Amino acid sequence: MDASNEPPIFDIDSHSQSLVNGSDINHLQYNEIRFDKLSSEDLKGKEFKTVEESDAFYYAYAKAMGFDVRSDYKRFSVCTKDKVTSRRLLCSAQGKRREEYMNGKRRVRRPKKETRFNCPCLFKVSYCKEKDSYIVDDFITERSHKLAETHESHLLRSHRSVQDAHLALATSMQRVSVKPCHTYEYIVDKAGGFSNVGFTIKDLYNKLDSRRREILLDGDAEAALAYMRGKVVTDSKFFCQFSIDEDNRLANMFWRDSNSLLDYSCFGDVVLFDSTYKTNHYEKPLVLFVGSNNHLSTTVFGFALLMDETIETYTWVLEMFISSMNNKKPIAILTDGDETMRRAIEVVLPGCPHHLCTWHVAKNARSHLRNNKAFSEFMHCMWDETTPDGFEQRWNDMVNTYGLHDKNWVTMMYEKRHKWAEAFISGHFFARMHSTQRCEGMNRYMKGYLKSGVKLFELIPALDRALLRLRNKVVEEDFRSNNSTHVLTTQLKNLEHHATTIFTDSVFEHVRKEIDRVGSLIISRSMSFGSIHLFFTSRYNSNNLQNEYTTFYHPKDNHHMECSCTLFECEGIPCSHMFNIMKHEHMTEIPSSLVLKRWTKSAKSDMQTSIPMNNVSNEAIEFARYGDLNCLGSKLSFLASKTKEGTDILNNEFMRLEPILTNLWKQEKEKSVSPDHCSNIVRDPIRVRIKGTQVTSSKGSKSQRRCGLCRNYGHKRPTCPQRKRGENRV
């Protein structure tokens, strides 16, 4: 028989769509014979060009008839090794379960339902070298079981598969915390029903899990490090450093990207350093390095995962942090008061002003000072703007009045007074940050992107997405500051207008408050020393000299000013006393010497703010392409669905383009040679014990569960012998 003269046995492309969505499934034909009318004689001796074509035919036949297909064998040529010589497909109900698995004496669980009924249905082809095609040797249509109805055919296992497009959609949705079950509902809604999807929700979960296991083939640590290596390729200034323990397990890891480097170069004068827990499967503490940007919002400088919380570990991560930032050190650092952090800071950043979180100090004070008056007095010691001598006097009065000499916590806090009392930290710049609540808030924000017990390879991309959204908020704040103007409300409109043009919206609100206070101030007296002028400012109608502030004015030194209130030194904005001098000197603009660039709209003007396109990963580019095409495809599908002609045109175009695009994808995959799997150079870390973990006794074994029916050990209610005796009772 000449295969070239035979009509096409089965047009795969023309029927592929109908096989997916289940429509017209009973109208499939072979040589003008309906599938349900085919007999062995109709098919024996017929030819298929390829084994794939024969498989496609039988799978289509099986779905049309309503049964599952199982592969029996596929034999290859001894010479070529890649040429299929014979292929046999069976009905999944072929064969019979072995008797020992049905009525085994030692069986505890109930046997699963029987799905094999010795069904003889099969399909076999063999390769004919003379004709260079596959000849049908055997085709049996008899069956020994009930077939699935048409509306049930989408549940047949061998005819279900998750398409790459649906997998890409589910993966993309999962990235933004949309659960697979919700994605599946969306796919069902778009397809017009469950029977038109082509797979079940369990199939989708299995496919996602299979993809996850492929990523973890070399281990979680290696998968995470591979992600980091990919970041290095796409971001030339990306920094990642890790250490391993004696068992070759991942111990500590620090990383930051080029955007963090840019932010640190502009706003890294003050750094908040804090750790959070329960963010990953290994319970490794996650350390955040954060700061305050020109909008007074949080900016992230870097992340670290630690093996423990010892001085050596904190020292390592601080050294990595400073090294990654071109050895630029902050001028101040803020922590929650952890002792190991403090000692590590003294090693890496000796002499750097270290401020304790005021919120934690106040919280500890409340728990240690039960007397409300003593607590109130302590808060005065912390916040009063006084001299160190004034602090000492008030502290001694508090200790003597409330009998706090023997309080160990009070003694410890006195030794640390230089780190929390306003009398000692006044004049130090902390970028308007006094507590680690900014870090606490950032921890809560980051945990919103993390599921409990995530692996490392999932944790790091999730943090990247959280960071991406955080940075987009900064772009929005930049846009609002640059594309809107404030309504002027003070009497010093020239100065106020100038402030609106240079400061961001958030900082401007604080500057405007200082301008507003000028109305209640007067210059009580002044004197000059050559080119330097000295002004004494006090409140209007106030004779209290203790409320008088001294301001030095240097008109020849770029109109520089210094005030005894030290607001400019502490917060970086001109104080009301300085604005009072500007009013006295008839200034219309704020001197540049009193404008701290980190608070201005142009804080990053000297830095490269644009990110080159090659800093975007290939995976991100693919997802972006997929999103664009998906939107375009949805639009075309909507328009085509309005008419039958439009639907036919779009269907034909899809069928024409599918093999072309599939071939392009195969060519692209052949170009990129995937590397061999490594032999776990870095092993996965073990779970660590974090601070606050409850101590459990290692003695004794874990208590066993009792049966809910007979209260004995070794089994549960469903397999209880008493239950079986009750079921056999007449």
Please check the confidence at residue 170 and state whether its pLDDT lies above 70: yes
User: How many CB atoms within 10 Å of residue 70?
Assistant: 17
**C-alpha angle 335-338-344 in degrees, rounded to nearest 5:** 80
> CA-CA-CA-CA torsion for 705, 710, 714, 720, nearest 10 degrees?
-120
361: which DSSP letter? Answer: H
Which of 39-53, 371-385, 403-417, 673-687 is the least confident region? Answer: 673-687
Spatial separation of the C-alpha atoms in residues 94 and 70, rounded to whole Å: 9
Question: If residue 536 lies in a helix (H) or strand (E), which one and from where to where?
Answer: strand 532-539
420 in Cβ contact with 342 (< 8 Å): no
707: which DSSP letter? Answer: P
At 623 the pLDDT is: 64
As beta bridge partners, residue 356 has: 335
pLDDT more than 90, % of the chain: 38
Question: If residue 304 lies in a helix (H) or strand (E), which one and from where to where?
Answer: strand 298-305
Q: Give 639's Cβ-side CA count (13 Å radius).
A: 7
Q: Give 494's Cβ-side CA count (13 Å radius).
A: 9
At 522 the pLDDT is: 92
Give per-residue burial for 140-157: e unless 16+ CB within 10 Å, then b: ebebeeebbeeeebbebe
pLDDT by residue (tens digit) across 404-446? 988 899 999 999 898 889 888 888 888 888 776 676 677 677 7
Task: Name the token pair of 39.
Answer: 């007999």
At 726 the pLDDT is: 44
Which of 61-70, 291-300, 634-643, 715-724 is the least confident region? Answer: 715-724
Residue carrying the six token digits 């056999």: 728
272 in Cβ contact with 439 (< 8 Å): yes
pLDDT tier, 190 (very low <50, low <70, confident <90, very high otherwise): confident
pLDDT by residue (tens digit) across 476-498? 999 999 999 999 999 999 999 99
At 226 the pLDDT is: 87
The edge-to-edge listing of strands for the beta sheet with 69-76 is 47-48, 133-140, 122-128, 84-91, 69-76
512 in Cβ contact with 489 (< 8 Å): yes
Residue carrying the six token digits 């005030």: 563
The pTM of the full predicted model, rounded to 2 decimals, is 0.73
Spatial separation of the C-alpha atoms in residues 370 and 362, rounded to whole Å: 12
- pLDDT, mean of residues 669-679: 53
Spatial separation of the C-alpha atoms in residues 625 and 464, rounded to whole Å: 20
128 in Cβ contact with 83 (< 8 Å): no
454 in Cβ contact with 462 (< 8 Å): yes
pLDDT by residue (tens digit) across 311-346? 999 999 999 999 999 999 999 999 888 889 989 999
Please check the confidence at residue 351 and state whether its pLDDT lies above 80: yes
- Between 503 and 117, where is the model more confident? 503
Q: What three-state secondary structure class fits 209?
A: helix
Give per-residue burial for 111-129: e unless 16+ CB within 10 Å, then b: eeeeeeeebebbbbbebee
Spatial separation of the C-alpha atoms in residues 203 and 543, rounded to whole Å: 82
What is the rounded average pLDDT for all residues in the chain? Answer: 83
Spatial separation of the C-alpha atoms in residues 207 and 61, rounded to whole Å: 26
What is the dihedral sign for C-alpha 156, 162, 165, 169? positive
Task: Name the token pair of 531.
Answer: 């080119």
Please check the confidence at residue 614 and state whether its pLDDT lies above 50: no
As beta bridge partners, residue 706 has: 713
Spatial separation of the C-alpha atoms in residues 720 and 712, rounded to whole Å: 9
Residue carrying the six token digits 């250490």: 243
At 28 the pLDDT is: 73
318 in Cβ contact with 348 (< 8 Å): yes
- Strands 239-244 and 84-91 come out as unpaired
pLDDT by residue (tens digit) across 212-239? 887 777 688 888 898 898 888 888 899 9
pLDDT more than 70, % of the chain: 85
308 in Cβ contact with 482 (< 8 Å): no
> CA-CA-CA-CA torsion for 431, 435, 438, 440, nearest 10 degrees?
160
